[in-house]
Structure 1
Amino acid sequence: MDQPQPNVDEVVQAIAAETDTPTETVSQIYADTLADFRVEARVFDYLPLLVAKRVRSKLKHSKRKH
């Protein structure tokens, strides 16, 4: 049984709000990260969840540097 896929726009909006980052920036990072994950993924069911986690982590880490 396939897992319901989250709405990417909603995920991007949530990450943007959580990290105080422009939506366009989050959207681009999300798309780039998803493309990177798809290259080596064997299972795609949890890809949106893993990508969202990576994007959040990347943005929070970059905010701490400043």
Structure 2
Amino acid sequence: MAPPDFEHVVKTIAADTNTPTETVSKMYVDVWAEYSDGARILDYLTVLVAKRVRENLRGVRQDRH
């Protein structure tokens, strides 16, 4: 289950990183599933997932150069 502000977070990351929304959305869902599996406290999960997606996108961009 994705957080209620999922679309806003995905659109923000996509705009900030100049990445297609579909790509960011898939990455976000994948990381969310990984992080939320077994998690009992979800308060900061949105922040942690967004941070990981941004880091992953930076890594992809650096690999292209």
TM-score interval, normalised by the smaller of the two chains: 0.7 to 0.9
Where does structure 1 differ by over 2 angstroms across 4 or more consecutive aligned residues? none
User: Separation in 1 of the partners of 2:16 and 2:4?
Assistant: 17
Provide TM-score, normalisation by structure 2: 0.86
Shift of 1:20: 1.0
CA RMSD of aligned residues (A): 1.4
* Identity among equivalent pairs (%): 48
Which runs of 5 or more residues in structure 1 are unaligned? none
Higher relative contact order (CA 8 A, sep 6+): 1
Which runs of 5 or more residues in structure 2 are unaligned? none
Provide TM-score, normalisation by structure 1: 0.84
Aligned residues: 62
